C-alpha cells in the first residue's frame, strides 16, 4: 500500500461520522512510528509503514501481525483496555471501520483511559503519594518475577548483546551529533558507557545466572501508567522488537526512573527504587540503575532526533522538541558521571559490629576490592592474617604509631584502586576523627565520592560476639576485655553530616541491611547530583 493511501485513511479518521459509535470530538497523537486517534470512549492506533532498522512496518501483513502482538502483550499489565484489532476496509471508493470490503489497514482498538488519571498528569498536580508508588512497585516486582524465564530470553541479556545494543544506539544517534546534539557531550557519554561495560562484564554475566533477564515492558514511562478506579493500568509496551523487550529488569525500571527524573520528580524515582527493592532480592539494581538510565535517556535522544527530521513539524513544535532532546542528552551525561566516578566506601564502627560482613557483601555486589585494617596491620609487621596477637590495648602492633601506619597503608591501597578508575572499600573502626578527615581529604583530592557506613549494634550483642572470639578468631584480635577501652576512645561521627554518613543496624538480616544501605547511598548520590537544567562545561576527565 502506498503512503498516500494511508494519508487518505488518516484524513477520514479525523471525521466523527467515520466511526460506528458516537464521537463528539477527535484528538490526535503522532509518534515516529504510529498515528493515534482519540474519540472519547475509544482509541484507534495505526502503525506507519516505516522501516527504522529496529522495526519494520512496511507491509500490511507486518502491521497486522504487530497489531495483534500489541494487544496480546499489553494485556499483561492492563485489563479491559486493549479490545482487539479492527479492519479498515475499502469498498465503493470509501473507507470503512470494520465494514465489508478489502482490508487495507489495521488499527489497535483500545478503551480510552481518562487523561487526568495518567501518572504524568497526577505528578504535575502533586497527586501521586507514596501509597501509589508502593502499589506500582509491587505490581512491577510481581510482573518481573513471574515473567517467563527461558533460555532464549536469558540469552538477550548476554554482555555481548548489551554491548551491541549500546553500540547500535550510538551508531544510530551519532549522525545527529554536531547538528542537533552537542558532539563533545555525546562522545563523553559514549566513552563512559563502553568503559562501564568493559569494567563490569562479570556483573552483566551474573544477571543471566540470577535470572534477571525477563520479557519486560520495554517502554515504561509516566505517560504509559494510569491510576484508575479499576486499579493501575500500564499500556504501550514494545511489541515490534523482542530485543527491546527481552532485557534486564533494571533496564525496564530505569526507563521509568529516568522519566521521573526528567519530569522533575527525582525523589519519587528514589522512592520507587526503594519500594521495588523491598520486594525483590536484587541489590544489583542500585549498581546498574544509572547505567541503564543513561542508556534510556540516549534512546529518547535518538527517537526525538528521528522525529525532528520529519517534515510535518511546525516551527514551534520543532523548537520544543529540540529543547527536550538536549535535555535528555544532559541527563545522559549526568548519569554517566555518576556511574563513572569511583566511590570510597568506609565501613566503620566498633569491633564486633559486623563491619567485615557488610564489607564482604559490598565487595560482592559492586565487584570491587575491600581492604581490611586487621589484615594490613599484620602484613606490615610480618604476621599472617590468622596469627593471634593478644596484647594490651594500644600496645605493640596496636600502638598509636602502628595504627597510624595501618591507616596510612589503607589510604594508599584506596589511592591505587582509584587511579585505576575503581571504587574501593576500607574496613576499619575509623574511631578517630583525624583518620576520617584524612580519608575525606584523599577523596576530595582525587575528586571521588566518599561514604561512611557506620555499623551499629546493641552493646550486649557486641559483647556476646566478642566473647565468642575467645576461642580464636581468624583475623581480628579485638576481645571482650578490650571493649570498654574501645568504647571510651571511639569518637562519634558527628562531623560527617548526612550526605556522607549511613548508619546500619547490623542486628537485622544481611539482605535488609544491604537494601537499606544501597537505597540510602543512591538517595545521597541523587542529592549530590547536578540539577536537571545543568549544562556541563568542557571536561576531559570522565
DSSP string covering 273-338, please?
A: HHHHHHTS--THHHHHHHHHHHHHHHHHHHHHHHHHTSTT--HHHHHHHHHHHHHHHHHHHHHHHH
Model confidence at 1, pLDDT cuts 50, 70, 90, reads: very low
**For 101-106, what is the mean pLDDT?**
93
Q: Taking residues 259-271, report their average pLDDT.
A: 95
Residues 395-443: pLDDT tens digits? 545 577 888 899 999 999 999 999 999 999 999 999 999 999 999 999 9
Q: Is the pLDDT of residue 386 over 70?
A: no
Between CA 210 and CA 191 the distance in angstroms is 28
Q: How confident is the model at residue 454 (pLDDT cuts 50, 70, 90)?
A: very high
* pLDDT-derived band at 498, boundaries 50, 70, 90: confident
- For residue 42, the cross-strand partners are 111
More confident residue, 385 or 521: 521
Q: For residues 319 and 174, is the Cβ–Cβ distance under 8 A?
A: no
Is residue 60 within 8 A of residue 77, CB to CB? The reply is: no
Domains of the chain, by residue range, sit at 3-112, 117-340, 343-507
Q: Which CATH number fits domain 343-507: 1.10.3210.10, 3.40.50.300, 1.10.760.10, 1.10.10.10?
A: 3.40.50.300
Question: What pLDDT, on the 0 to 100 scale, is given for residue 462?
Answer: 81
Q: Taking CA 462 as the corner, what is the angle to CA 456 and CA 464, rounded to the nearest 5 degrees?
A: 155
Q: What was the pLDDT predicted at 398?
A: 57
| Measured distance CA(503)–CA(454) in Å, rounded | 5
pLDDT tens, 192-225? 999 999 999 999 999 999 999 999 999 999 999 9
Which tops the pLDDT comparison, 501 or 479? 501
Task: Check residue 538 and give its pLDDT.
Answer: 36
Task: Choose from 45-54, 372-381, 384-393 the range with maximum mean pLDDT.
Answer: 45-54
* pLDDT for position 529: 63
User: Domain spanning 117-340: which superfamily?
Assistant: Aminoglycoside phosphotransferase (APH), C-terminal lobe (3.90.1200.10)
Q: Which residue has the cell 592474617?
A: 385
**Of 239-253, 347-361, 377-391, 516-530, which range is least confident?**
377-391
b/e map 57-95, b = 16+ CB within 10 Å: beeeebbbbbbebbbebbeebbeebbeebbbbbbeeeeb
User: What are the residues facing 35 on neighbouring strands?
Assistant: 30, 46
Write out the three cell numbers for 192: 563512559
Give percent of the chain above pLDDT 90: 74
Torsion of CA 227, 228, 229, 234, to 10 degrees: -90
Q: Are 288 and 300 in contact (CB under 8 A)?
A: no
Q: In what order do the strands lie in the sheet with 42-47?
A: 27-30, 34-38, 42-47, 102-111, 82-91, 94-97
Tell me: the pLDDT tens digits for 352-371?
A: 889 999 999 999 999 999 99
| Predicted structure pTM score | 0.85
Question: Cell digits for 193?
Answer: 558507557
What does the mean pLDDT of the chain come to? 89
Neighbour-count burial of 509, counting CB atoms closer than 10 A to its CB (0-12 exposed, 13-18 middle, 19+ buried): exposed
CA gap 418, 124 in Å, rounded: 41
Average pLDDT over residues 246-267: 96
Task: Please state the length of the chain.
Answer: 542
DSSP structural state of residue 72: H
- d(CA 505, CA 514) in angstroms, rounded, equals 10
Amino acid at each position: 500500500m502506498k503512503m498516500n493511501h494511508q494519508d487518505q485513511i488518516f484524513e477520514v479518521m479525523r471525521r466523527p461520522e467515520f466511526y460506528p459509535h458516537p464521537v463528539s470530538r477527535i484528538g490526535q497523537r503522532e509518534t515516529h512510528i504510529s498515528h493515534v486517534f482519540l474519540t472519547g470512549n475509544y482509541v484507534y492506533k495505526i502503525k506507519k509503514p516505516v522501516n527504522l532498522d529496529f522495526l519494520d512496518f512496511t507491509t500490511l501483513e507486518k502491521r497486522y501481525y504487530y497489531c495483534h502482538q500489541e494487544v496480546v502483550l499489553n494485556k499483561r499489565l492492563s485489563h479491559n483496555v486493549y479490545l482487539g484489532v479492527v479492519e479498515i476496509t475499502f469498498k465503493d471508493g470509501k473507507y470503512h471501520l470494520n465494514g465489508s470490503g478489502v482490508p487495507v489497514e489495521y488499527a489497535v482498538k483500545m478503551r480510552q483511559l481518562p487523561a487526568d488519571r495518567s501518572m504524568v498528569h497526577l505528578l504535575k498536580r502533586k497527586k501521586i503519594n507514596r501509597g501509589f508508588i508502593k502499589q506500582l512497585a509491587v505490581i512491577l516486582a510481581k510482573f518481573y518475577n513471574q515473567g517467563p524465564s527461558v533460555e532464549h530470553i536469558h540469552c538477550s541479556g548476554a554482555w555481548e548483546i548489551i554491548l551491541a545494543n549500546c553500540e547500535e544506539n550510538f551508531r544510530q544517534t551519532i549522525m545527529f551529533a554536531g547538528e542537533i546534539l552537542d558532539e563533545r557531550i555525546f562522545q563523553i557519554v559514549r566513552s563512559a558507557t563502553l568503559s562501564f561495560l568493559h569494567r563490569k562484564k562479570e556483573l552483566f554475566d551474573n544477571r543471566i545466572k540470577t535470572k534477571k533477564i525477563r520479557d519486560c515492558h520495554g517502554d515504561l514511562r509516566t505517560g504509559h501508567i494510569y491510576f484508575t478506579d479499576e486499579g493501575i493500568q500500564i499500556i504501550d509496551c514494545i511489541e515490534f522488537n523482542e530485543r527491546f523487550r527481552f532485557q534486564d529488569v533494571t533496564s525496564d525500571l530505569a526507563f521509568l526512573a529516568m522519566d521521573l527524573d526528567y519530569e522533575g520528580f527525582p525523589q519519587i524515582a528514589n522512592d520507587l527504587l526503594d519500594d521495588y527493592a523491598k520486594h525483590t532480592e536484587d541489590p544489583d539494581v542500585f549498581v546498574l540503575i544509572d547505567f541503564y538510565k543513561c542508556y534510556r535517556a540516549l534512546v529518547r535522544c535518538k527517537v526525538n532526533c528521528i522525529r525532528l527530521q520529519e517534515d510535518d513539524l511546525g516551527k514551534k513544535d520543532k523548537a520544543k522538541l529540540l529543547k527536550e532532546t538536549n535535555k535528555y542528552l544532559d541527563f545522559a551525561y549526568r548519569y554517566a558521571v555518576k556511574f563513572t566516578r569511583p566511590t570510597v566506601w568506609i565501613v566503620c564502627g566498633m569491633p564486633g559490629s559486623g563491619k567485615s560482613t557488610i564489607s564482604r557483601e559490598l565487595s560482592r555486589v559492586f565487584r570491587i576490592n575491600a581492604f581490611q585494617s586487621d589484615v594490613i596491620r599484620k602484613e606490615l609487621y610480618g604476621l599472617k592474617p590468622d596469627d593471634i596477637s593478644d596484647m594490651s590495648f594500644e600496645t605493640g602492633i596496636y600502638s598509636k604509631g602502628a595504627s597510624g601506619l595501618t591507616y596510612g597503608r589503607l589510604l594508599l591501597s584506596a589511592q591505587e584502586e582509584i587511579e585505576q578508575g575503581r571504587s574501593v572499600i576500607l574496613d576499619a573502626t575509623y574511631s578517630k576523627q583525624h583518620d576520617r578527615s584524612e580519608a575525606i581529604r584523599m577523596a576530595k583530592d582525587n575528586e571521588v565520592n566518599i561514604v561512611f557506613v557506620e555499623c551499629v549494634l546493641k552493646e550486649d550483642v557486641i559483647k556476646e560476639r566478642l566473647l565468642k572470639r575467645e576461642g580464636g578468631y581468624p583475623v581480628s584480635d579485638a576481645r571482650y576485655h578490650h571493649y570498654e577501652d574501645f568504647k571510651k576512645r571511639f569518637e562519634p561521627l558527628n562531623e560527617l553530616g548526612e550526605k556522607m554518613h549511613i548508619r546500619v543496624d547490623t542486628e537485622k538480616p544481611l539482605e535488609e541491611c544491604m537494601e537499606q544501605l544501597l537505597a540510602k547511598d543512591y538517595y545521597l548520590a541523587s542529592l549530590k547530583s547536578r540539577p536537571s537544567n545543568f549544562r556541563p562545561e568542557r571536561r576531559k576527565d570522565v
